[in-house]
Amino acid sequence: MSASDIDAAGGRETPSPGDQRPAAPSATRRRAKRIGGVILSLALTMLGLMLVTFIIGRVMPIDPVLKVVGERATQAQYDAAYQAMGLDDPLIVQFLNYIRDVIEGDFGRSISTGQLVLNDIKRVFPATVELATLGTLIGVFVGVPLGVIAAANRGGIIDQVARVLAIVGYSVPIFWLGLMGLLIFYGILGWVGGPGRQDIIYTGMVPTVTGLLLVDCLIAGDWGAFKDAFSHIILPASLLGYFSLAYISRMTRSFMLEQLSAEYVTTARVKGLSERAVIWGHAFRNIAIPLVTVIALSFGSLLEGSVLTEIIFSWPGLGQYVTNALLAGDMNAVLGGTIVIGTCFVALNLLSDLLYRVLDPRSS
Amino acid sequence: MNMQTNLRALLLASAVAFAPAAYAETPADALVVAGSINDIITLDPAQAFEFSGNDVNQNTYDRLVDFDPADLDAGFQPSLAESWEASEDGTSITFTMREGVTFHSGNPVRAEDAAWSLQRAVKLDKTPAFILTQFGFTPDNVDEMITFDDTTLTLQLDAPYAQSFVLNCLTANIASVVDKELVMQNAEGDDLGNTWLATNDAGSGPYVLAGWRANEVVQLTAYEDYFQGAPAMKRVIVQNVEESSAQRLQLERGDIDVARDLSPTDADAVAEAEGVKIEEQPRGRILYMGLNQKDELLSNPAVIEAMKYLVDYEGITSSILKGEFVTHQSFLPKGYLGALDETPWTYDVEKAKQILADAGIEGGEVTTIVRDLREYTDVAQALQGSMAEAGLTLNIEQMTGAQVLDAYRAREVPIFLGEWGPDYSDPNTNAATFAYNPDNSDEANATGLLAWRNAYEVPAEMNEATLAATQEQDSDVRAQMYQDIQRQYQAEAPIIPLFQRIERAGLRENVNGWQSGGAVTSVIYRGVTKGE
């Protein structure tokens, strides 16, 4: 799924030159139609996503009942659990029941944690959001300038450094880099906190308000806990930020190169504008739109794709939760996680769509 | 994965030289443990049957009888029951309750609570219920079979079982005594509090459950009014850390006191490091080899005999299992009543060849499936090598644990390599699955019995001996009976116990009194103290 899906479905129309009459009712109707279209496409996307996930879950060669009752269970106990989980219904009935429950706000109970999926997700998702947000911020604030400078000094030393950084970022397994990071910055240097979101001694000291630990520490005004939480998040976030910046800097560089070879840039230079003004004032403004898409996608992939980082750093986030659930055949939890991630992607797409309108004067 | 493991080992090994002394230290009255706790699905003692769930409930609840953490070998000791007495015919046991004990809620622990807890477990009929129902309790009769008055509780059994058998089963977590009033206040419908107890505690044990966040952390706080005295560690925090190397770094830096899932490489390294130590304790799990008797080749007694000499016991424990297991060739783990320490088999390819030649067997081929865990596949490959030397071909296919288990329960695994963990602290737990199989037909569908899964037609006299041992009142005689069964088993059974699991916990040097539970029970925190 990408931002362009929503464009197609949401219909980001450009007013045609002949369409000059400002008829209020028809504009309202058009807007309503557009919103309706967006909602319909969202509903269909989510339904398709759930259907595919549901079917994959049911054909997987993992017996979820055994996870619940254990291998020592008698046949009677097994059968009781099988029925209680609704597995004796036909697949389509199971799916429809699930959809009905979800619409009623009931995501079911996870068999790998024994708790309501909704509560589980409320607990694990903020941990992932916090990590992915910080990672993306690092990726953007380092990656974008790096890409712009690399493009402006094509073939220069900074361009070479950026290239090597990106190649390493693309090719080194995150697993290895994570363990190396822990070993050096936690094990040997002691600059950062170890695995987990905070030192064990701070566990449960800060009341949960948003679930975002850094924010909760600030709300509680506990500076010590904040510093501790920051020391724990900075290493995994930097790691994710590194992977994100490898992608963002490469994309920024290629967008910029395209712009810098355009005629308006030459014109600007001929007019005698400083190189800085040409790059940041003219070329960069024009790459803002595709860059927003790149950043949104990168954020989305960090939300769903930081499983290994979460495992290495014992980070109790959504990636780890869904992976554990998948291995246990815990489909309620997997579906719940899928819906959350799917919704995030859709929301990010809408957001980038919205930003297009802000950034591109032609679309307003 | 394998390469990554090696790489990690190398990196960590090279880092040890640079590792500075730990600066951090956990508080003197808190015990911080790192381990993998993602197997917990509920904390209701009537349902929890996973290792980490049992580790929690062991400490939040008391039972009528319990183990002394300082001396597990002494067996069950009075706990909420002060004393007990069996009827003359052995079919009932009456317990006298200890007075003055209170639950965490402040409610007194009464005989009524103890009786209700057992009745509740039988009625809920969750997986571990068989530990109690094997004495004849059913959801229908349990209210009459388990009775109480003000100070005593009586169990009426359906046969004159050995007292040690019944009491050993009562040390299991399913026999935990729960606070009836508190649980019933929180019951939903007719669930007898099952949903509420999944995440709450209603016990009287040395620790109170302060919180469990799935896949993240379990927090316990000391129960100051504990009837055997408040424990020294006022907080116990168990953090879910799945990576062995992460656990090792945390331990060496002093951020945790105990690391419970160290890989062999990390445990070896920790043993060398400063300020930390390794404590080894044999656990209950037995790694064994099951030869499926539906397979023509494997059902030949000469092949069964030869296979016992084709396992490189020393080589495997030293180079593959690396301190995580020791050689153990009988089905009762060390630490159990009647455990047998005899190791009749050694690695001897020539002898195996001779046995096969004497029986006129020239070659043969078996294809089996093995769970895709490094330990098992490496053991399978070692076996493949030694079988080849003896002229037997072993083909190995790797599958996930769930797939292998499904096939095994359907009697479709020719050579099974895997572990069996005892369910409760009585020898019958293993005897009744390894050495008991009253009906070997496919229709019997006795998927819970290892003998059935391997299609092993247990001789009638062994079936009878296994049953008889559950009713022998004299414990010494009972132990002797199990030893006799195991000797006969070693002589003829196609299920071959090979190794017993060892837990190598990494501890900070100042941690004393760590008790992982040995072979018979779960971890016990109340004896832990911290020195300077």
* pLDDT tens track for B339-351: 999 999 999 999 9
Distance between CA atoms of A108 and A339, rounded to whole angstroms? Answer: 13
Helices then strands (H, E): number in chain B? 19, 19
Distance between CA atoms of B38 and A113, rounded to whole angstroms? Answer: 8
Q: Which of A113, A199, A314 sits opposite B41 (nearest CB)?
A: A113
Residue A342 within any structural domain of the chain: yes
pLDDT confidence band for A78 (50 / 70 / 90): confident
pLDDT for B24: 58
3-state helix vs strand vs coil in chain B, percent to 5: 35, 20, 45
Tell me what the mean pLDDT of segment A3-9 comes to: 37
Distance from CA of B133 to the nearest CA of A (A): 12
Mutate: best of A60, A77, A113, partner B, most B CBs <10 A: A113
Tell me what the mean pLDDT of segment A53-78 comes to: 77
Residues in B closer than 8 angstroms to A62, CB to CB, are: 400, 402
User: What is the per-residue pLDDT across A167-222, written as a single tens digit (0 to 9) for each?
Assistant: 888 888 888 888 899 999 998 888 998 888 888 778 777 888 888 999 999 998 88
Dihedral-angle region of residue B267 (phi above 0 means left; psi in -120 to 50 means alpha; beta otherwise): alpha
Same domain, A96 and A173: no
For A363, counting Cβ atoms within 10 Å of its Cβ (0-12 exposed, 13-18 middle, 19+ buried), the class is middle
Distance between CA atoms of B284 and A150, rounded to whole angstroms? Answer: 61
Number of domains within chain A: 2
Residue B264 within any structural domain of the chain: no
Residue A168 within any structural domain of the chain: yes
Question: Does A112 sit within 8 Å of B214, measured CB to CB?
Answer: yes
Same domain, B293 and B221: no
User: What is the per-residue pLDDT across B153-196, written as a single tens digit (0 to 9) for each?
Assistant: 999 999 999 999 999 999 999 999 999 999 999 999 999 999 99
Residue B237 within any structural domain of the chain: no
Residues in A closer than 8 angstroms to B132, CB to CB, are: none
Residue B238 within any structural domain of the chain: no
pLDDT for B21: 37
Same domain, B296 and B219: no
Same domain, A219 and A268: yes
Distance from CA of A126 to the nearest CA of B (A): 14
Please enumerate in sequence order all residues whose Cβ is within 8 A of that of A160, keeping only pairs 6 or more positions apart, or say none: none
Distance from CA of A197 to the nearest CA of B (A): 10
By C-alpha distance, which of B156, B82, B167 is closest to B119?
B156
Q: Is it the case that residue B78 has pLDDT exceeding 90?
A: yes
Same domain, B431 and B351: yes
Same domain, A188 and A273: yes
For A140, counting Cβ atoms within 10 Å of its Cβ (0-12 exposed, 13-18 middle, 19+ buried), the class is buried
For B318, counting Cβ atoms within 10 Å of its Cβ (0-12 exposed, 13-18 middle, 19+ buried), the class is exposed
Measured in degrees and rounded to the nearest 5, phi and psi for residue B294 equal: -80, -20
Element (H, E) at B496: strand B495-508
Question: Does B18 sit within 8 Å of A188, measured CB to CB?
Answer: yes
Find, in chain B, the residue whose alpha carbon is nearest to that of A127.
B216
Average pLDDT, chain A: 83
* Entry field: residues in chain B: 532
Dihedral-angle region of residue B294 (phi above 0 means left; psi in -120 to 50 means alpha; beta otherwise): alpha
Same domain, B346 and B467: yes
Residues in A closer than 8 angstroms to B215, CB to CB, are: 113, 124, 316, 320-321, 324
Find, in chain A, the residue whose alpha carbon is nearest to that of B217.
A203
Tell me what the mean pLDDT of segment B382-396 comes to: 95
Distance between CA atoms of A335 and A341, rounded to whole angstroms? Answer: 10
Same domain, A34 and A139: no
Q: Is it the case that residue A1 has pLDDT exceeding 50?
A: no
Question: Does B239 sit within 8 Å of A314, measured CB to CB?
Answer: yes
Residue B307 within any structural domain of the chain: yes
pLDDT for B17: 37
End-to-end CA distance of chain A: 25
Q: Which of A187, A190, A314 sits opposite B241 (nearest CB)?
A: A314
Q: Which of A72, A114, A195 sits opposite B198 (nearest CB)?
A: A114
pLDDT confidence band for A75 (50 / 70 / 90): confident
CATH value at residue A129: 1.10.3720.10
Distance between CA atoms of B258 and A84, rounded to whole angstroms? Answer: 39
Q: Give the end of a domain, one of A38, A73, A103.
A: A103
Q: Is it the case that residue A364 has pLDDT exceeding 60?
A: no
User: What is the per-residue pLDDT across B18-32, written as a single tens digit (0 to 9) for each?
Assistant: 343 334 578 899 999
CA dihedral sign, ordered A17, A23, A24, A26: negative
Same domain, A287 and A315: yes
Distance from CA of A105 to the nearest CA of B (A): 19
Same domain, A268 and A352: yes
Tell me what the mean pLDDT of segment A134-155 comes to: 91
Distance from CA of A261 to the nearest CA of B (A): 45
Find, in chain B, the residue whose alpha carbon is nearest to that of A328.
B402
Q: Is it the case that residue A328 has pLDDT exceeding 80?
A: no
Question: Does A312 sit within 8 Å of B4, measured CB to CB?
Answer: no
Residue B261 within any structural domain of the chain: no
Q: Is it the case that residue A90 has pLDDT exceeding 90?
A: no
For A256, counting Cβ atoms within 10 Å of its Cβ (0-12 exposed, 13-18 middle, 19+ buried), the class is buried
Find, in chain A, the residue whose alpha carbon is nearest to that of B19.
A188
Average pLDDT, chain B: 92
Residue A226 within any structural domain of the chain: yes
Contact call for residues B268 and B323 (beta carbons, < 8 A): yes
Contact call for residues A306 and A25 (beta carbons, < 8 A): no
Q: Is it the case that residue A291 has pLDDT exceeding 60?
A: yes
Question: Does B409 sit within 8 Å of A71, measured CB to CB?
Answer: yes
Instruction: Enumerate the β-bridge partners of residue B417.
Output: B289
- A vs B, Cβ pairs < 8 A, gives 141
Same domain, A226 and A332: yes
CA dihedral sign, ordered B440, B443, B449, B455: positive
Number of domains within chain B: 2
CATH value at residue B521: 3.40.190.10
Same domain, A285 and A317: yes
Dihedral-angle region of residue B476 (phi above 0 means left; psi in -120 to 50 means alpha; beta otherwise): alpha
Residue A19 within any structural domain of the chain: no
Residues in B closer than 8 angstroms to A72, CB to CB, are: 49, 127-128, 130, 423, 448
Residue with tokens 């699955």: B433
Instruction: Enumerate the β-bridge partners of residue B515.
Output: B524
Same domain, B183 and B48: yes
End-to-end CA distance of chain B: 40
Contact call for residues B501 and B325 (beta carbons, < 8 A): yes
Residue A111 within any structural domain of the chain: no
Same domain, A99 and A123: no
Residue B336 within any structural domain of the chain: yes
Distance between CA atoms of A94 and A98, rounded to whole angstroms? Answer: 6
Q: Is it the case that residue A363 has pLDDT exceeding 70?
A: no
Residue A335 within any structural domain of the chain: yes
Residue A284 within any structural domain of the chain: yes
Question: Does B255 sit within 8 Å of A200, measured CB to CB?
Answer: yes
Distance from CA of A314 to the nearest CA of B (A): 5
Question: Does A112 sit within 8 Å of B41, measured CB to CB?
Answer: yes
pLDDT for A101: 87
pLDDT for A25: 59
Find, in chain A, the residue whose alpha carbon is nearest to that of B215.
A316
**How do strand B276-291 and strand B511-512 relate by DSSP bridges?**
unpaired
Tell me what the mean pLDDT of segment B272-294 comes to: 94
Q: Give the end of a domain, one of A103, A134, A160.
A: A103
Same domain, B110 and B207: yes
Mutate: best of A68, A307, A314, partner B, most B CBs <10 A: A314
Same domain, B525 and B484: no
Contact call for residues B271 and B278 (beta carbons, < 8 A): yes
Q: Is it the case that residue A6 has pLDDT exceeding 70?
A: no
* Entry field: residues in chain A: 364
Distance between CA atoms of A290 and B266, rounded to whole angstroms? Answer: 47
Same domain, B139 and B186: yes
Domain range for B368 is 283-502
Same domain, A96 and A188: no
Structure tokens at A150: 């690399």
Among A344-353, B259-268, B413-422, the minimum mean pLDDT is found in A344-353
Same domain, B45 and B89: yes
A258 or A11, greater pLDDT: A258
B38 or B295, greater pLDDT: B295
Tell me what the mean pLDDT of segment B1-8 comes to: 44
Distance from CA of A229 to the nearest CA of B (A): 15
Q: Give the end of a domain, one of A103, A138, A156.
A: A103
Please enumerate in sequence order all residues whose Cβ is within 8 A of that of A164, keeping only pairs 6 or more positions apart, or say none: none
Distance from CA of A207 to the nearest CA of B (A): 13
Residue B245 within any structural domain of the chain: no
DSSP B362-416: --EEEEEEEES-HHHHHHHHHHHHHHHHTTEEEEEEEE-HHHHHHHHHTT--SEE
The Cα-based distances of B333 to A148, B284, B421, B488, B498 in angstroms read: 67, 6, 9, 17, 11
Among A52-66, B44-58, B183-197, B434-448, the minimum mean pLDDT is found in A52-66
Find, in chain A, the residue whose alpha carbon is nearest to that of B27.
A201
Among A137-146, A207-216, B328-337, the minimum mean pLDDT is found in A207-216
pLDDT for A10: 37
pLDDT confidence band for B426 (50 / 70 / 90): very high
Structure tokens at B273: 């490091």
User: What is the per-residue pLDDT across B210-222, written as a single tens digit (0 to 9) for each?
Assistant: 999 888 899 999 9
By C-alpha distance, which of A265, A293, A292 is closest to A279?
A265
Question: Does A186 sit within 8 Å of B243, measured CB to CB?
Answer: no
Q: Which of A9-13, A198-202, A332-336, B247-251 is modeled with the greatest confidence?
A: B247-251
Same domain, B524 and B464: no
pLDDT for A278: 85
Same domain, A126 and A97: no
Residue B318 within any structural domain of the chain: yes
Residues in A closer than 8 angstroms to B7, CB to CB, are: 176
Distance from CA of A89 to the nearest CA of B (A): 22
Alpha helix positions (H), chain A:
3-10, 24-59, 64-69, 75-84, 91-103, 117-152, 157-171, 174-181, 213-220, 223-260, 263-270, 275-276, 284-305, 307-312, 318-327, 331-359
CATH value at residue B403: 3.10.105.10
Same domain, B484 and B515: no
% residues pLDDT > 70 (chain B): 95
Question: Does B249 sit within 8 Å of A186, measured CB to CB?
Answer: yes
Tell me what the mean pLDDT of segment A221-248 comes to: 91
Domain range for A52 is 3-11+24-103
Mutate: best of A77, A177, A203, partner B, most B CBs <10 A: A203
Distance between CA atoms of B23 and B37, rounded to whole angstroms? Answer: 27
In the three-class reduction of DSSP (H, G, I as helix; E, B as strand; rest coil), residue A41 is classed as: helix
Same domain, A181 and A219: yes
Q: What is the DSSP letter of B494?
A: S
Same domain, B225 and B118: yes
Q: Which of A63, A111, A201 sits opposite B41 (nearest CB)?
A: A111
Residues in B closer than 8 angstroms to A190, CB to CB, are: 20, 23, 253
